[in-house]
Amino acid sequence: MDRRFLYFGRSLMQNTKIGIFDSGVGGLTVVDQIRRLLPAAELLYVADNARAPYGPRSAEEVLNFSRQITNFLLAQGAGLIVIACNTATSVAIDTLRLEYPDISFVGMEPAVKPAATHTRNGRIGVMATELTLSGSRYQQLVTEYAYSTEILADPCVGLVPLIEAGDWESGAVKSKLRAILDPMLAAGIDALVLGCTHYPLLREQIKAICGDGVEIIDPAPATARQVGRLYISLTDTENKTYCTPLHRFHSTGKSLPLERVLFRLRLPYRLSLASSNLG
C-alpha cells in the first residue's frame, strides 16, 4: 500500500469528499476499490435506484439524472465526482465537464482496449447496457482499439434489475447469464469485458460459466487508481492527519439493495443511509 494514499490533505481538498454515483448498487464495486486505495478519504455515494435501470432509457434522461446527482453531490461537499456507471459516463461526462469546468470527473468505459490487447485469438465478449453500446464513445473505442478484433457484444437486457433484486444465485440469474454468455463462448471468446459496474457483482457466477479459458476484465481497479492519482494531485499530502471517515450512502428509492450489497462486500463503513429524492 502506498502510504501517500492513507492520509487526508489539508489544503485544496481538506474535508472534501469524493462523490460517486450509479443507477444503483453497481458503483459499489468501484467504491470497494477506491476505499482500498484511499482508506482515509470520505466517500459520498448516490444510488439512483428509483430510476434504475439506466440502460433502456434515453440519453437525454440519463444526462438529466447525472446533472441532478452531480448538483446534489457538490451541494454535499464533494470536490471530485466519480461516475461509477458506464451508461451515465457514455452520455453525460463530456457535457458535465463543460458545465462544471472547475470540477474533476472520473468516468468508466468498457475495457475494450485491454481486452483487445490481451486476447490471444482476437475474439472478445462485451457485456454492457444498450445505451452504452449504442453510444458514440463505445463506437469510438472499438474503432480506435479493436478494429481488428471480433467483438461479440450483448446489451444484457433485464440483468441489472435481477442484480438489484439481490438474489444472485437464483435460477433466473443463471439462465440470463447463460443466454448472454453461451453464444460468446460458442464463438470462442477468450476475454470478456464487464462493461457495466453491476456485472462484477456476478463475477463468480460468470466465471463458473466461462471457465478458466476466458479472462474477465473489470475496469474498477484502474478507475480507482485514476481517482487516487487525482485525489493526491488535488490534496496537499503534507501535514497529514489520519482519521476514520464516515461514508454516506444515499438511495433515491429503497435503501435495502444498498444495505444488502454493502454487507455482502463487507465494506467496513460507519453508515449513514439516507433515502433522498433528487428529482
Give the binding site for ligand DGL (CB under 6 A): 22-23, 26, 52-55, 85-87, 129, 132, 160, 196-198
Among all chains, which residue has been given the C-alpha cell 472520473? 106
Q: Which residues contact 11 (CB under 8 A, 6 or more apart)?
A: 235, 236
Q: Which residues contact 251 (CB under 8 A, 6 or more apart)?
A: 46, 47, 48, 49, 50, 257, 258, 273, 275, 276
Buried b / exposed e along 88-104 (16+ C-beta atoms within 10 A): bbbbbbeebeeeeeebe
Please identify which of the residues 156, 196, 210, 243 carries the catalytic annotation. 196
Pull the grid cell for residue 127: 457485456
Pull the grid cell for residue 201: 457483482
Phi, psi of 269 (to 5 degrees): -115, 150
For this structure, is 156 an active site residue? no
For this structure, is 196 an active site residue? yes
Name the minimum Å distance from CB 24 to ligand DGL: 6
Q: Which one, 148 or 277, has the nearer CB to ligand DGL?
A: 277
Please identify which of the residues 85, 156, 210, 243 carries the catalytic annotation. 85
Name the minimum Å distance from CB 102 to ligand DGL: 26
For the annotated catalytic residues, the residue numbers are 85, 196
